[in-house]
Amino acid sequence: MNRVPPPSGALRDAVASMQPVAQRHPVRRWLAAVAASLAVAAAAVAALGTRRDLGELPGSWLAAFSMLWLLGIEALLGAAMIPRPGAVLPNARRAGAAGLVFGAVAAGLLAAFAIAAPGSTIAPAGAANVVRYALPCIATGLGAAALPAALALWLTRKTAPVHPGWLAAGVGAAAGAVGSLVLHLHCPIANADHLALAHGGVPMLAAAVAALAVRFRTRS
Amino acid sequence: MVSTSRSEVPLPQLMHRYCCGDERAFYELYDALAPALLHYLIGLARDRARAEDLLQTTFLKLHTHRDVYVAGADPTPWVYAIAKRAFIDDHRRRGTARRFLARAGGDDTSADLTGAPADAGAAAPDPDLVSRAVAALATLPRSQRDAVRLTKLEGLSIDDAARAAHTTPGAIKQRVHRGYQKLRAVLGAAE
């Protein structure tokens, strides 16, 4: 059997001078992150304005995709912040994978169920227009995702000693869903390719940006 | 099933007492987790001395991150995750140091480290001198060794090194300066 060295002097000193600390409440943190995300989404839609074809689109379609993004925000933040019962840490790889799967599925659903209101919805044709109209939407979506991502990353700090990039991807995808929700209620462009690329792509892009940022930070 | 310590106190209970500031709970937790953790770290590091250092690092990190603990949870998988992170960080730091020594060209940091005057145009330093410099570095007090390592081996700025060492830039400059003085004294005495 290995003989175990006693705690070092530095460790003994640290323990001798310790103060009581509050234990983490993951559900409270999750609620705070969800509430902040919804507040940011509401503020962004209020600032940018609602889409001009809002009144002409089927209410069920608007509600269904709004619910999809809301569900994404809650479920992905839950996967990244709430550990299974009896565990201290969330499953970082599962959170990241869930974020990427959610982004891909949401983009596919948007492309499959694209709906336009003739006369009000913008539907520019041509490949060049796809990129031209996508870039501002992606920038807006990522902008709306920045604050929720920063807050959720701060709330999940120290909870992924290993695979921090995966956890950040999950958090980033959840924040990206905030951006997509804002675009869903603001942007009147309704081509299937625009919806899939610009609106559906924001969670994937936000996941990649968050994962790279955290990996860079943990390596530097 | 909830893990227990040698004294059959469940680990979640020990961890709870530890978070509440009970010093004895820490030592009971150490006794319960350290033997298996050391075995795990020896398996990762394949070097007992390094594994023992990593064990101390793991418990220091556990101490500073104890606010992450969730009441009632088994801390064992979390402590192993911290140990793995400590190993990965140490592995990367060693890789950086190895690359620095392998590079060991005429950059002024190696000249500074060996105590010789900086000369960007000089040939690669004597490998024996470099190895003696690294050995001399190990004789420095920890605060000075860390300051020299962060600024010269890992290439951090004074401000970044201060943040990494949780101190002020002024303190880092002073530690680096004193570290250099001791390195020069040790290397000079060895010649």
Q: What is the pLDDT of residue A174?
A: 97
Sign of CA dihedral B164, A210, A84, B81: negative
Per-residue tokens: A139: 């920038």
- Give Cα separations from B152 to A137, B7, B46, B143, B190 (angstroms): 45, 46, 27, 14, 22
Is B85's Cβ below 8 Å from some Cβ in A?
yes
Strand partners, B10: B4
Among partner residues A15, A21, A88, which is closest to B70 by beta-carbon distance?
A88
Q: Give this complex's ipTM.
A: 0.82
| B:23-62 residues touching chain A, CB 8 A cutoff | 23, 26-27, 30, 34-35, 38-39, 42, 52, 55-56, 59-61
Sign of CA dihedral A54, A56, A61, A63: positive
Q: What is the pLDDT of residue A173?
A: 97
Residues B7, B37: Cα–Cα separation, whole Å: 18
Contact B4, A5 (CB under 8 A): no
pLDDT at B2 over 70: no
What is the phi-psi region of residue A95: left when phi exceeds 0, alpha when psi lies from -120 to 50, beta otherwise? Answer: alpha
This prediction has a pTM of 0.73
pLDDT at B103 over 80: no
Determine the 3-state secondary structure of A12 from DSSP.
helix
Is A9's Cβ below 8 Å from some Cβ in B?
no
Q: What is the pLDDT of residue B118?
A: 41
CA angle B114, A218, B74 (to 5 degrees): 120
Q: What are phi and psi of B31, to 5 degrees?
A: -60, -35
Q: What is the pLDDT of residue B126?
A: 62
Percent of chain A at pLDDT > 90 equals: 72
Q: How far is A167 from chain B (nearest CA, A)?
A: 14
Residue-wise pLDDT tens digits, B129-164: 667 777 788 788 888 888 887 787 766 778 777 777
Residue-wise pLDDT tens digits, A133-185: 889 999 999 999 999 999 999 999 999 998 999 999 999 999 999 999 999 99
- Give residues with Cβ within 8 angstroms of A123, minimum separation 6: A116, A189, A190, A191
Q: Does the distance separating the beta carbons of B88 and A21 come in below 8 Å?
A: no
More confidently predicted of B69 and B141? B69
Among partner residues A4, A21, A83, which is closest to B66 by beta-carbon distance?
A21
